[in-house]
Chains A and B, each alone.
Chain A
Amino acid sequence: MIIRCALLAGVLGLSTLSAQVTFERLLHAAEDNANWLTYSGGYRGWRYSSLEQVRRENAGRLRIKWVYQMATTQMVETTPLVIDGVMYVSEPPSNVVALDAATGRRYWRYQRSLPDRINVCCGQVNRGVAVLGDRVFVGTVDAHLVALDARTGAVLWDRAVADYRTGHAITVAPLAVKDMIVCGISGGEYGIRGFLDAYEAATGKRRWRFWTIPEPGQPGSQTWSGNAWKTGGGPTWVTGSYDAAQNLIIWGTGNPSPDWNGDSRPGDNLYTDSAIALDADTGKLNWYYQFVPHDVHDWDAVQVPVLVDDEWQGRPRKLVYWAHRNAFYYVLDRETGKFLFGKPFATQTWARGLEADGRPIRLPNIDPTPEGTYLWPGVQGATNWYSPSYNPLTKLFYLAVWENRSVYRKGEQEYSPGNRYIGSVPLIDLPEDPGHGAIRALNPKTGERVWEYRLQTKPWAGVLSTGGKLVFGGSDEGYLFALDAETGREVWRQNLGGIIRANPITYLNHGRQAIAIAAGNAIFTFELGE
């Protein structure tokens, strides 16, 4: 027995977590290129790795290493994490598996038992897990946050974040910061009152909650009227970033509810469609910037904030780069939230431009009507939740873009708990006029397009850029591709036979650079062949 225990410990020591994932380690996640420790690969939200084994000259030799198939009918939107040879992957709706990153063989699986009736606007999906210490954290579509033992998948605590019967759900990958797990909420199509929460990783106790819709009397409440704040939306369903030097959590918020009919909510509707910067210890609002005051087009600010320190007009400045669903690219000051610059990165027909403070100058006749209003960008925006990337070598900002329009229809809205509260139905795609997609590289200082890689269809996959000066992206057509980060020239592609609606990552497998991405119902990994 003693011998068996010793053997077991030895095996575990070799194959799973050889080191705890400390906060210190997460602070340096972006430099730890053997691993992929957070949703965006580091707190600054760059989705960049300095790995350069796979380069423009040899990327044509990328070959599939292994495939992990999931049994699910839901879309797989997960970003895997890779920590010391173990890959942690969420499976929709709210399951988690730990895989051997070298073989794709499974160590354990956590299967969430879910109630029968769960409503998530856009599929029972999950975008990934967070890891802190020896624990894995997953949000669930029945709006719980669950802590799992990283070695066994055993449940350590399971906490209700909100009531799923009122349209709350968790699809976002949580973010581990200090000793806390920061977790957002979905439900902007169900009239929730949005929030961002922080929980103690050790106990599941809630440390703080920031309501994205202020209650009467609180700052910002003057931008609401009547009881609209109670069902005002403002979800937080895409993982934010962390500015360690300022101790600020910077996160995007989603649309006000109901989405396409603003009659019941006159005013700017703070803090919807905004970047919010919260004190990590208290959850108190430090600054905010609202991209779309009084949104009636569902143009959420659900993008990963890209935090960059660089020269701005001749002096060093802490910046946020943000390509928004509304088709404008923005630069914000990260110390104050002040708008510095904005410019369209895709076709848009709703704003003449931006005022000096960044407020959009709206064109006439852009609001949804019962008959329908045609506008660029479409309902799903010029970009959406899929991650952008910033590469410090090329100093370019990369993103997946949609070029299309929608007809926006306004309808009646009536709140009933747990049901859609959207104010009618926009036609999401015009079959005769589907538009197209692209991967674009922007100069983040000027917003100018440096190159474009055009796609037949509109992509739901994020991009990764690397020290090998490659940009990896994917498409609904099922292709994973590698582009020259400087020119956009395609250097490799592979048909994976399944829609890609996820973000790529890269890490080292026994010293060899590997790429991983979800496609169809599977995780695919790639390494250089001979």
Chain B
Amino acid sequence: MLILLIAAAALPGQEAEVRNPRTSLADVAAGAKTFRSHCSPCHGLNGEGGRGPNLAAGRFYHGSSDADLLRNISTGIPGTEMPALFYNADRIWQIVAYIRSLSAAPAAPVGDPARGKALFSAKGCPQCHRVRGEGGRLGPDLTTIGESRAPAYLRQSLLDPDAVVLPPYWVVRFRDDSGRAHEGFLLNEDTYTVQFLDFQSRLHSMEKSGLQDYRVEKKSRMPSFRGALSDAALQDLVAYLSSLRSPGGSR
């Protein structure tokens, strides 16, 4: 007992790390149930985010330790819309276990990242995509894409770019009152105005009244690589993209 106390005293400022005691598969399943009814209205049915932040990326704005998550779920986060949950700690630990399961490391992709990197350049991807400051601006920055997207998602994006197109990449097309055609990425719109980035990277803001054939296409500008790459090459490319992470690892 005495020894333990001395050991604790030798580590000033370091609290004993609180670890989640409820991490069995049954706990994860129970946590998922609670999450679905209490957390998903804001954080999404699978923690992907919505009104509240994405919880599936393993990065949390208000602390990422088990103790942080327990506290934030139990008492809410002041100054945000995050409310408190009136449950005992065990039940909240199960939610923590579920949230952790969302960002558990997936199996490493099988391809060769080095070959994938060469393909990335050879296939012209940098014309639109940036990696660490190099590349174009018309597509998403991929510098840390390996952290936020699973290999399966990346593979799907390469084969079927239209499957998931996020709003900043929706394309607006219309003709103005002089008949001139316009198109670009829809950045914002309201009842009266539209803001877009044309494909020459120029920003525009226009009044909607007088515009004709106004339409928004939720399709990707990226070509599909289905049939254009062998399966092995596809795996290499996915392996490269999965390897793109911030240098310090996940926060």
Interface set of A (CB-CB < 8 Å, partner B): 73-74, 116-120, 123, 165, 411-413, 416-420, 422, 424-425, 427-428, 431-432, 454-457, 475, 477-479, 493
B87 at the interface (CB under 8 A from A): yes
Kindly state the separation between the CA atoms of A73 and B120 in the bound complex, as whole angstroms: 44
Which residues in B have some Cβ–Cβ distance to A below 8 Å? 33, 36-38, 40-41, 45, 75-76, 79-81, 83-87, 167, 189-192, 218
If A119-B84, A425-B40 are given as contacts, then 5 extra A-B residue pairs at C-beta distance below 8 Å, sorted by A number, are A73-B80, A411-B37, A424-B36, A432-B218, A477-B190
A-B CB contact pairs (8 Å), 9 listed: A73-B81, A117-B86, A119-B86, A123-B81, A416-B86, A420-B37, A431-B167, A479-B190, A493-B192
B80 proximity list for chain A (CB < 8 A):
73
Distance (whole angstroms) from the CB of A100 to the closest CB of chain B? 29
CB B229 to nearest CB in A, in angstroms, measures 28
Q: Is the CB of B76 within 8 A of A116?
A: yes
Cα distance, A52 to B188, chains bound together (Å): 36
Q: Which residues from chain B contact A455 at a C-beta distance below 8 Å?
A: 191
Contacts A165-B86, A416-B87; A425 near B41 (Cβ below 8 A) = yes
Taking CB atoms, residues of chain A closer than 8 Å to B36 are 411, 424-425
Interface-centre pick from A117, A118, A454, A457 (highest chain B CB count, 10 A): A117
Tell me whether A479 and B191 are in contact (CB under 8 A): yes
* Contact yes or no, A116 B191, CB < 8 A: no
Closest A residue to B166 by beta carbon equals A431
Residue of A nearest to B167 (CB): A431
A419 with B38: CB separation less than 8 A: yes
Least Cβ–Cβ distance between A452 and chain B, in angstroms = 13
B85 A419 Cβ-Cβ under 8 A: yes
For the complex formed, measure the closest distance between the CB of B126 and the CB atoms of chain A, giving whole angstroms.
29
Contact at B76–A456, with CB atoms within 8 Å?
no
A117 neighbours in B (Cβ, 8 Å): 75-76, 83-84, 86
Give 6 closest A-B pairs by Cβ, nearest first.
A418-B86, A117-B84, A477-B190, A456-B191, A119-B83, A425-B40
- How near does chain A come to B148, taking the closest CB pair, in angstroms? 18
B37 touches A118 (CB 8 A): no
Q: For the complex, what is the distance from the CA of A475 to the CA of B76, rounded to whole Å?
A: 29
| Distance of A413 Cα from B33 Cα, bound (Å) | 10
Taking the closest CB of chain B, its distance from the CB of A94, in whole angstroms, is 15
The answer to whether A116 and B37 touch across the interface, beta carbons within 8 angstroms, is: no
Min CB gap B87→A, angstroms: 7
CA–CA, A392 and B81, complex, Å? 41
**A454-B191 in contact (CB<8A):** yes
Q: Which residues of B contact A416 (CB under 8 A)?
A: 86-87
* Bound Cα distance from A492 to B113, whole angstroms: 58
A93 to chain B: closest CB distance in Å?
11
A475 and B192 alpha carbons, distance in the complex (Å): 12
Distance in angstroms between the alpha carbons of A456 and B167 in the assembled complex: 15
- With A and B bound together, what is the CA distance between A431 and B191 in angstroms? 17
> In the assembly, what is the distance between CA of A269 and CA of B86, in Å?
27
Q: Which interface residue of B36, B38, B192 has the most chain A CB atoms within 10 A?
A: B192
Task: Output the nearest chain B residue to A431 by Cβ-Cβ distance.
Answer: B167
The interface residues of chain A lying within 8 Å CB-to-CB of B33 are 412
Contact, CB under 8 Å: B38 / A420: yes
Interface centre among A454, A455, A457, A477 (most CB of B within 10 A): A477
Closest residue of chain A to B78 (Cβ to Cβ) is A116
Q: How far is the CA of A456 from the CA of B86 in the complex (A)?
A: 38
CA distance A119 to B80 in the complex (A): 13
Q: Which residues of B contact A479 (CB under 8 A)?
A: 190-192
Measured CB to CB, the closest approach of chain B to A90, in angstroms, equals: 18
Chain B residue with minimal CB distance to A413?
B37
List B contacts of A425 (CB < 8 A).
Answer: 36-37, 40-41, 45
Contacts of A493 in B (CB 8 A): 192
Instruction: Give every chain A residue within 8 A of B167 (Cβ-Cβ).
Output: 431
CB pair A428 B218 closer than 8 Å:
no
Measured CA separation A144–B36 after assembly (Å): 31
Point out the residues of chain B lying under 8 angstroms from A457, CB to CB. 190-191
> A493 CA to B192 CA in the complex, in Å?
10
- B41 to A456, Cβ gap below 8 A? no
- Please give, as numbers and ranges, the residues of chain B lying within 8 Å of A412 by CB-CB distance: 33, 37
Query: Can you name the residue of chain A whose Cβ is closest to the Cβ of B88?
Result: A416
Report A489 CB to chain B, min CB distance, Å.
Answer: 13
Smallest beta-carbon distance B195→chain A, Å: 12
Determine the distance from Cα of A204 to Cα of B192 in the docked complex, in whole angstroms: 49
- Please give the distance in Å from B91's CB to the nearest CB on chain A: 9
Q: Which listed residue (A120, A411, A419) contacts B87, Cβ 8 A?
A: A419
A419 to B85, CA, bound (A): 6
- Provide the bound-state CA to CA distance between A419 and B38, in Å: 8
Chain B residue nearest to A476 (CB atoms) is: B190
Q: Which residues from chain A contact B85 at a C-beta distance below 8 Å?
A: 419
Which residue of B has the minimal Cβ distance to A477? Answer: B190
Q: Is the CB of B41 within 8 A of A118?
A: no
Closest chain A CB from B163 CB (angstroms) = 12
